[in-house]
A and B are shown apart, each in its own frame.
Chain A
Amino acid sequence: KNEVEQSPQNLTAQEGEFITINCSYSVGISALHWLQQHPGGGIVSLFMLSSGKKKHGRLIATINIQEKHSSLHITASHPRDSAVYICAVGSGNTPLVFGKGTRLSVIA
């Protein structure tokens, strides 16, 4: 079974700071997902990556398949970015394995 580790567990940043959240996994995968979970439970899919880099607005996700590592970056962070960010990995049709999440608080 794949083991997914995220770091840091908790992160507090000042508005405007550049933020990086890391995800490592133990077994080769076909896809890695970054998800955002707001208080109350709703989960939104941010990115699905199998290689390289993707950008959407102020969010950038990168993956290094050889090193089994991915990063999620947030540029010019804003209080509305405060949420739990979850990394999940999958291979073929197997159900995703989730990390425990990184709780981000951005202070104005």
Chain B
Amino acid sequence: DTGVSQNPRHKITKRGQNVTFRCDPISEHNRLYWYRQTLGQGPEFLTYFQNEAQLEKSRLLSDRFSAERPKGSFSTLEIQRTEQGDSAMYLCAGTGGASILTGELFFGEGSRLTVL
């Protein structure tokens, strides 16, 4: 258990619906990343936060995707008007404090999205 929790673990939705995923990192994690992973592929970077500031967004993050990290604690990733191509595992990872020096990332278990 890395101490990073993600909810929900699984989400099945119909095309066109909106979904929201939540990530609760360890309290000392001032840096938080969102990644997307499809079957047989490695994780792909979506966006990351330093405290509450969103510092970088991948081109993978279309305007249907939005991420927030109010107060620099938990983060949410919302997908509007879902498409079948959005089906993937959405992974959250945090780092901060001493782990910034080691570069260690702490991943959550992921939220698996299936769009029908």
- Give the interface of A toward B (CB within 8 A): 4, 31, 33, 35, 40-45, 48, 86, 88, 90, 95-101
Contacts and interface: CB of A to CB of B under 8 A. Distances in A.
B88 to A, nearest CB: 11
15 contacts: A33-B103, A40-B109, A41-B109, A41-B110, A42-B110, A43-B93, A43-B110, A44-B2, A44-B107, A45-B107, A48-B103, A88-B43, A96-B45, A98-B44, A100-B40
Contacts of B110: 40-43
A101 B106 CA distance: 18
Interface of B: 2, 33, 35, 37, 40-45, 48, 56, 89, 91, 93, 102-110, 112
Nearest to B46: A95
Contact of B42 (A41, A42, A48, A98): A98
A101 to B, nearest CB: 5
Contacts of A88: 42-43
A45 B109 contact: no
A31 B103 contact: yes
A4 B42 CA distance: 10
A103 B56 CA distance: 30
Given A100-B40, A101-B42, A43 B91 contact: yes
